[in-house]
Amino acid sequence: MAARVLTDRDLVLCIVQYQHGLPLEVRHVVALAAQVVITPCYTQTSICPSAYLSNIPPPYADLEYVQRMSYAGRMPNYALFLHDHYVAPALPLHLAIVAGNLRHVESLVTWQPAWVSPDAVALAAICGHLHILQYLATMPNGAPTTTAMDLAAMNGYLDVVEWLHGLSDGPGCTAKAMDGAAAYGHLDVVAFLHERRTEGCTTLALEAAIRNGYAPVADFLLSHRRSIAPLNSRLFIVEFYRIQRHRSAPGSNLLRTIQVLVTHNFTANLYKGVIHAAIESHGFDALQLLHESGIQRIDQNCLNTIIKTKDRASIEYTLHQVLVANDRWPLDSLGDSCCLWDLQEELPWAPWQPSKMHHDPQHWLSPFRAMDIAAALGDLPTVQLLHRLRLDCCSTNAMNHACARGHLDVAQWLHAHRAEGYTRDAMTFAAAEGHTEVIEWLHEALGMPCSEDVLANAAARGDLYMLAYLLTMPMLDEPAINGTGSSCTKFLPDGCVQYGSGSYAVDAAAANGHLEAVRLLQLHRASTDAMDRAALNGHLDVVTYLDAQRTEGCTNRAFEGAITGGHDAVLEFLIAHRASAITNCGELYVTAARRGQVATMAMLWAQLPWELTPVEAEKVVTLAALGNHVDMLQWLIDGKGMQHTNEALQGAERRGHARVVQLLSSRGRQVPSELSEIDFMFLM
């Protein structure tokens, strides 16, 4: 009977609730937090964190707050109100706070009360978790702060703001509270702060509400806080407490916001970005309102923005205003329709540019390139209309960008009707974007030859059909390439084109693992960059082919790249067949230590034996320690008798690498450091 009682599951669970430690589900939170990777960041700017957090596991990775604060799979540590370069002991508590799980928060605080801090309070406030704020307020160091009230306000959590306001010894807030609430469209919070508190706001409140398109907030501020100064049209980024992605209210509408400003006669110095964003979002309605209310002159930037919308009504309205302002309206050739889109023939004018608009000719002094934009967008009717109006607004970019986007009809029309021509970039861009039909036309109709850049961009794509065609064309006589080439970006009205420049085609194909393209280019020049980059990217088949069929060979970078990429099979092949290319064997050991894979280091030790210098040996051990590579350290210390320095031990301690510290303290032997401060800084 006694045994049955003692083995009763419910009784055991009841008993362990009173033991010191963590419930199983909260231990799971700690284990999940341990999976988060902390990467130090040493860039010193206001928005750069001291570290980035990545590999955040579910369920925390799926939380709205985490997703909003993350970019490219990582989030700044300050978004979780953490600040250290290397460690985050309170991360389990902060994750539980973001999740709003009070039971987990209570267990973690009971276990580690020192984790309660103003940062934890701020995080609960920015997430709007009132129940957690109320619990933290009962703990030492968990009292509400002005930062908490500011953050709750600017993220639209009225219940939190009301609770903090109602505390008899409450922290209050700053003007940032209303500024932020206005910036992110939280009208209920703005109204509450206006009616119940005295901190007020700054001019940023109205400026940010306008720029973000929150018409009701702008209307409220203009109706109730008329003392706000006129708008400052400077460019700024809305940022509070280093965070730029606060929770925004729905319903942003720039057109309605501008209508509010017109109603209040408050349109002076309206930021140009708001004007152009309104036109892009609302088209003709926004354009007409802006122009007829005197807010926006029809200048070059305005016309460029309108052309990007491809909205026929807006384009006609804008061009009509340009013609009127320059005494070129009405047009006899239009007849009764007065519709510019009905214009079928070129006007009998010399090419011209607008010289006056609202008596301010300064608006047209910069280059006028409206046709370039229309061509890049493939908007042939607009290209034709601008041409028929004889507007001088075209350059070689028109055809270059049309080719980049594959708009063959536009390129053909420009060639037939315009004289600006094109440059070699036209074919390069077309190759980079995969437009074979454009390349065929450029060669067959215009006689354009192939260049190494064109061939390299096709090779980088692995486009065998395009490559086969290019190889039938005559090649430009170009000097040998000296260097590894570069990746370039060309910005177009609708985005950008990524293309390569200054690289051999064989090198580009090899780097991307396109073996058939490498074979097709067998008779073309290459460099050691081909095998170096193929090794870096782990393309063993390409490395094998280049070794057997070509003579360029490789450099030390091939070995370093294979190690860095974790491509042991490639490394083993290179050691067996290209060891003579190694110029710095010690650096390979250092690279392997940074990578942290014992198998890679063991391969080097067995197949590339090298007596490490004291500096190289210190780098190897220190990198293994700083990288938390426990298995690597144990292998080096136990198997190779290597020693560590106090700097390596201290670096591991700062990073919170407990197992490394334990290993070095118990089994490693310390030696004086041979590294300079600069050497150690580069290791970090």
Mean pLDDT per 10-residue section of the chain, whose length is 684 residues? 70 63 88 94 78 96 97 95 94 98 97 97 98 97 97 98 95 96 98 96 93 97 76 63 93 97 90 91 95 89 92 96 92 83 94 71 64 98 98 96 98 98 97 98 97 97 98 90 85 96 96 98 96 98 98 97 98 97 96 96 96 94 94 94 91 91 86 79 70
In 173-299, alpha helices (H): 175-183, 187-196, 203-211, 215-224, 254-263, 272-292
The token duo for 428 is 């390069």
Residue with tokens 């260049």: 451
State which H helix or E strand residue 264 sits in: none
The token duo for 245 is 């992605």
Query: What's the pLDDT at 235?
Result: 47
How far, in Å, CA of 104 to CA of 397, rounded?
Answer: 60
In 3D space, the residue among 118, 102, 99, 121 whose CA is nearest the CA of residue 110 turns out to be: 102
Query: What's the pLDDT at 678?
Result: 76
Query: DSSP 3-state assignment of 491?
Result: strand
Contact (Cβ atoms closer than 8 angstroms) between residue 635 and residue 602:
yes
pTM here is 0.87
547: CB partners within 8 A, 6+ apart: 531, 573, 577, 578
Query: What's the pLDDT at 46?
Result: 65
Burial class, 379, CB count within 10 angstroms (exposed 0-12 / middle 13-18 / buried 19+): buried
Listed in order, strand segments (DSSP E) in 12-83 are 37-40, 51-54, 74-76
How far, in Å, CA of 279 to CA of 167, rounded?
Answer: 46
In 3D space, the residue among 550, 547, 504, 554 whose CA is nearest the CA of residue 528 turns out to be: 554
State which H helix or E strand residue 104 sits in: helix 102-111
Query: What's the pLDDT at 292?
Result: 92
Residue-range domain boundaries for the chain: 22-143, 611-684
How far, in Å, CA of 455 to CA of 432, rounded?
Answer: 9
Contact (Cβ atoms closer than 8 angstroms) between residue 510 and residue 542:
yes
404: CB partners within 8 A, 6+ apart: 376, 426, 429, 430, 432, 433, 435, 490, 492, 497
How far, in Å, CA of 498 to CA of 506, rounded?
Answer: 19
